[in-house]
Each structure stands twice: as C-alpha cells, then as structure tokens.
Amino acid sequence: MDITIKEAQTKIDQWIKTVGVKYFSELTNLGILMEEVGELSRLMVRIYGEQSFKETDSPPSSQELLSDEMADVLWVLICLANQTGVDLTEALQKNFEKKNVRDKERHKKNEKLK
C-alpha cells in the first residue's frame, strides 16, 4: 500500500484522535522524537559501525529493525507537523527547490565526494 505524505498526516491525525485519545504536547513529542532518533542511531551504529550487538540483543533481522525504527521517527515527526500546522508535502517541495538552487553545483565541486 503506497501512501502519500499528506495521507500519512491525515491517517496519523485520525489515529491520534481515536486510538491515541489526543496528541502529547509538542515539547513531549520533541523529546519522544529525540528518543526515537537515538534508538535508530544505536541500531545503525551496531549494523553499519564498529559497535557490536550485546549477547542479550537478538534482533529478528537488521532490515526489519531499521524499518521499524525509521517508521517510529517518521510517525513522531508527522505528529509534530500536525500539531504545528506544517504541511510536510509543501515543506518538502520547498526544501527541494531551496536545495536545487543553493546546492546546484556545490556538491559537484566537493573534492571529498569524488
């Protein structure tokens, strides 16, 4: 099932208002977002970095865990967008425009990327 960002914002809003009862405060959700990013970071460091999993960690599959953690980050980010009135589709489109102007040649000239 493909879902647009706009649809995700609507579905999460509906879920929060029915199953979740109500949104946590913006500040609480910011803290939760940081927690979720930390969990994703911990996993990435163990999969792609030098740190190993503990013996007590028995991940079902790295890909499954990564997708779940990334979805958690996206969920909370969408909650914050909904709470603050940000249309993420529009914001992402504007961000592409900004990057296409600002970074049009920037990365091509970066010796570190060659």
Where exactly are the structural domains of the chain?
A: 5-87
Residue 93 has pLDDT above 80, yes or no: yes
Q: Which CATH class is domain 5-87?
A: mainly alpha
Q: What's the mean pLDDT in 87-94?
A: 98
What is the reported pTM? 0.88
Residue 109: band (very low, low, confident or very high) from pLDDT cuts 50, 70, 90: confident
Residue 18 has pLDDT above 80, yes or no: yes
- The three-state secondary structure class of 110 is coil
35-72 b/e with 16+ CB inside 10 Å = b? Answer: ebbeebeebeebeeeeeeeeeeeeeeeeeebbeebeeb
CB contact at 8 A, 8 and 15 = no
Cα distance between residue 70 and residue 61, in whole Å: 14
Residue 13: band (very low, low, confident or very high) from pLDDT cuts 50, 70, 90: very high
